[in-house]
Structure 1
Amino acid sequence: MVDLPTDIISQILSRIPMKSLFRFRCVAKLWCCIIDHPFFAYMHLSQCNEEHNMLLLIPYPTYRQKKLSFRLVEERGRNMKANKNSITEFDLNHCVLLSSCNGLVCIQYENKQSYVLLNPLRTDFLELPKATIKADYPEPVIVTCGFGFDASTSAYKVVRVVCRIENLTSRVIVHRVGTSSWREDLTPTIEVHRVDTSSWRENLTSRVEVHRVGTSSWREIGEVPPHPVEGKPVFAHGFLHWLVNPFRRESEGMIVSFHIGTEKFQWTPHPKVDATYTVLFQLVDMKGNLGMVDLSSKTNIDIWVQKDYKNKEWVRQYRIDIRAPCGRSNIEHIQVIGLWENGEILLKFNDGFFIYSPKTGLRYNNGLGLESDSPTGLHSHRGSLISIPKVTAAC
């Protein structure tokens, strides 16, 4: 390949798997320059759609272990095992992974106003300016943060939503077993069955700020979500998506979406499911597509994928029979991690994992072969060559 034109070498390298490319950077200076170029990183990301997702195990810092580390999880035989050696480590305290996009991840550390971007497969690290909207109100606050990419301007943005609960009020509704109705009670006893939070919405105040990666500040926007949002959003097709809690019964939907380019909120329709409790549903990244997990059935888990995003059409792509391996009693504790190799779905259940293959069904994996008391997270990750310093230099 020495005598080939540079553009031909780039085309060939863009079709090579990620793990091999990191080794090829050491072959020659020319190859290293090609692989590290921002344009090549985006070309590889767009052309290698068939490349398998990687699984990243994240042992979070503790009083013993002060570093945030990332480890690859690989399949050995029919079991998953985490590598003992970290692929990279960062000096971050009290941190949590919030959102990911194009192989980059956004992490919150120390408090709800400090954020950092990093690429787990490189040593790239960028501390963002401190957020400006305070999250230390006397009243309770809900803070959620998402990270996405605007393809029209090649800009990465971090979106932060702060929802303040002012003068929180609620109504207590009581039903005495054996009677035919519910009654409002100002002195609740152990008979209380549910709390009506319909009056909360009037006392919620949301503020939104956006940071464009490469700039030196955050800016507050006038746009606010049509319903309070919380939890980790999923980025797909230029939008960040949050699952509303509790579900809206109106026709608009139960998913609030934020367009990274226009910086506008909107409702996104959901699959036609008949359930009320958000705990039985999850949003998940299905390799660039928005997915929704339905845990409301007693016998199976359904995973819907919105492949036609323009027309908002959902397709039920997976139905996983759960009766035999894990029963029904704690189905709400099941977490769908996401896609892995060969279209397999990874599910976490208590201390173990299930791997579902459309061809072979469901199999159990007991742990990851690591003895550690530190809190960990397991994530389905699509790696990339994108260099954060070169992203900021292009702004």
Structure 2
Amino acid sequence: MPNLPKDLVEEVLFRVPVKSIRKVQFTCKKWNTLSKGNFFAKKHLGQDILATADKFMVVMMMDFSVYLMNIIEREAKLISLVEVDVAIVLHCDGLLLCITKDHSKLVVWNPYWGQTRWIESTHNSQRLDFHSYAIGYDKIIKSYKILRFIDPDFPTPFVEVKIYDLNSDSWRVLDVVPSGQIYHYNRGVSLKGNTYWFGREKPSQSGDGCLVCFDFTSERFGPLLPVPFEWIYGDTMSVSTVREEQLAIFFMRRDTLMLEIWISTKIEPNAVSWSNKVFLAMDMTPLVDLGFRPGEGKDASFFIDEEKKVAVVFGKDITEEDREINPTRNVVYTIGVDGSYKKSYLGESPYKSCYPLACSYVPSLVQLN
């Protein structure tokens, strides 16, 4: 093996899929050094992305472990953090922010390089699981940052906002407050370096639904952004990204179980516009509906495939006999704009309250120095 010509070794390594590159790096020092070079990485990532252009690469958290998946079938368990139980995973520009099960530790992780950056979690005495997190970057200097704030409904109307800069390796307190109410179980999504959450106007319990954005460049929350429907307290809402360019909103009404998915045509921290036609609309009542109940405090995890015209939603199973949630069975629902509906099982789970979470993923060359 050590005597193989460099061009032959490169040809072999170029054929290794991204999800297996970490195993290659443990083979020998020569292969490890070669696979970590920027020239090789750029060429390798380019080939792998082209080869999988017709599939989604999805990072999924299930049973407190992190997996790499295609659109439905689990492909490989990501190996760098197998010893850590992960409760939340967020994606930004090829980096993953993982929050541990006990919410006491943060780690930024680049699965392609196998690099991790553990971050000291400074916090006060409030319950850690009521913190909200986001990851983004300053678009001027491309500095990656982490945002953390306390849900203002717990235990008193108080907001503490802190930001961590990976360049300076330090936390700072920000004198800002969210422009709208953001529940701690509503995961935000990173898009073009900013993070967007579904929220509502405060302080009214029946305040209108809206989007709330945090701009990591200005380190400020933007104005409330409108959504293309009327939201009532208890309706299910969630956000996702489309090709890292657009925002998608999942909306299911509490009273009618009518499901709608909308896609933005323009999205910025201070402005949003929506397509004049809904991407997907379906009445879920005749079906064995999705494995969560509107308003129960569980964030729907989903993504869409515009080309195949389907939405993929992760949740818990519903028993056909009494239409009750089976909390020990994880499932994925594939819903077509043509009204088609398919349920696939992801396996039994010993964790009743651990709902599967998924986000799209594109490998990155970012180094976590």
Normalising by structure 1, report the TM-score.
Answer: 0.66
Aligned to 1:175: none
Looking at structure 2, the residues matched to 212 and 270 of structure 1 have their Cα atoms a distance apart, in angstroms, of: 30
Alignment of 1:149-160 (within 5 A): 149-160=137-148
* Structure 1 residue 318 corresponds to structure 2 residue 288: no
Counterpart secondary structure, 2:160:
strand
Aligned to 2:61: 58
Shift of 1:105: 1.4
Distance 1:361 1:91, change over 3 A: closer
The amino acid of 2:59's aligned partner reads L
Alignment of 1:359-374 (within 5 A): 361-365=340-344, 367-368=345-346, 370-374=347-351
Q: Give the alignment partner of residue 160 of structure 2, picking from 194, 200, 207.
A: 207
Aligned to 2:95: 104
The amino acid of 2:281's aligned partner reads R
Looking at structure 1, the residues matched to 287 and 222 of structure 2 have their Cα atoms a distance apart, in angstroms, of: 39
Q: Give the alignment partner of residue 256 of structure 2, picking from 298, 301, 311.
A: 298
Looking at structure 2, the residues matched to 282 and 46 of structure 1 have their Cα atoms a distance apart, in angstroms, of: 27
Distance 1:51 1:32, change over 3 A: farther
Aligned to 1:181: none
Counterpart secondary structure, 1:205:
coil
Normalising by structure 2, report the TM-score.
Answer: 0.70
Give 1 or 2 for the bigger CA radius of gyration.
Answer: 1
Distance 1:354 1:111, change over 3 A: closer
Q: Give the alignment partner of residue 226 of structure 1, picking from 170, 173, 179.
A: 179
Aligned to 2:358: 379
Counterpart secondary structure, 1:277:
coil
The amino acid of 1:210's aligned partner reads I
Shift of 1:117: 0.9
Structure 2: unaligned runs, 5 residues or longer: 1-5, 8-13, 318-330
Could you report, residue by residue, the CA deviation over 1:340-372 in whole angstroms, capped at 9, with x for unpaired residues?
Answer: 58453112353233212346732222x12x455
Shift of 1:265: 0.9
Could you report, residue by residue, the CA deviation over 1:25-50 in whole angstroms, capped at 9, with x for unpaired residues?
Answer: 9998777624566x779989999995
Shift of 1:157: 0.6
Distance 1:290 1:48, change over 3 A: farther
Aligned to 1:240: 195
Shift of 1:277: 1.4
Shift of 1:146: 0.6
Shift of 1:223: 1.6
Looking at structure 1, the residues matched to 267 and 44 of structure 2 have their Cα atoms a distance apart, in angstroms, of: 25
Looking at structure 2, the residues matched to 44 and 306 of structure 1 have their Cα atoms a distance apart, in angstroms, of: 30
Aligned to 1:90: 81
Q: Which structure has more RCO (C-alpha within 8 Å, separation ≥ 6)?
A: 1
Whether the 8 Å CA contact 1:160–1:209 is kept in 2: the answer is: yes
Shift of 1:256: 1.8
Aligned to 1:180: none
Looking at structure 2, the residues matched to 386 and 245 of structure 1 have their Cα atoms a distance apart, in angstroms, of: 37
Q: Give the alignment partner of residue 335 of structure 2, picking from 337, 351, 356.
A: 356
Looking at structure 2, the residues matched to 267 and 104 of structure 1 have their Cα atoms a distance apart, in angstroms, of: 27
The amino acid of 2:74's aligned partner reads A
Distance 1:47 1:223, change over 3 A: farther
Aligned to 2:67: 71
Shift of 1:125: 1.3
Looking at structure 2, the residues matched to 41 and 246 of structure 1 have their Cα atoms a distance apart, in angstroms, of: 46
Whether the 8 Å CA contact 1:129–1:218 is kept in 2: the answer is: no
* Structure 1 residue 136 corresponds to structure 2 residue 126: yes
State the superposition RMSD in angstroms.
Answer: 4.4
Distance 1:43 1:247, change over 3 A: farther
Aligned residues: 327
Shift of 1:204: 1.1
Could you report, residue by residue, the CA deviation over 1:279-336 in whole angstroms, capped at 9, with x for unpaired residues?
Answer: 4222222332222212017364111122212551112322234344335996527934
* Structure 1 residue 33 corresponds to structure 2 residue 33: no
Whether the 8 Å CA contact 1:257–1:265 is kept in 2: the answer is: yes
Aligned to 1:184: none
Whether the 8 Å CA contact 1:246–1:278 is kept in 2: the answer is: no
Alignment of 1:330-349 (within 5 A): 332=294, 335-339=300-304, 342-349=308-315
The amino acid of 1:295's aligned partner reads M
Alignment of 1:172-191 (within 5 A): none
Aligned to 1:267: 223
Looking at structure 1, the residues matched to 289 and 218 of structure 2 have their Cα atoms a distance apart, in angstroms, of: 45
Shift of 1:252: 8.8
Counterpart secondary structure, 1:53:
coil
Whether the 8 Å CA contact 2:200–2:209 is kept in 1: the answer is: no
Whether the 8 Å CA contact 1:281–1:294 is kept in 2: the answer is: yes
Whether the 8 Å CA contact 2:18–2:112 is kept in 1: the answer is: no
Whether the 8 Å CA contact 1:145–1:158 is kept in 2: the answer is: yes
The amino acid of 2:279's aligned partner reads Q
Percent sequence identity is: 14
Distance 1:32 1:21, change over 3 A: same
Structure 1: unaligned runs, 5 residues or longer: 4-12, 62-68, 169-202
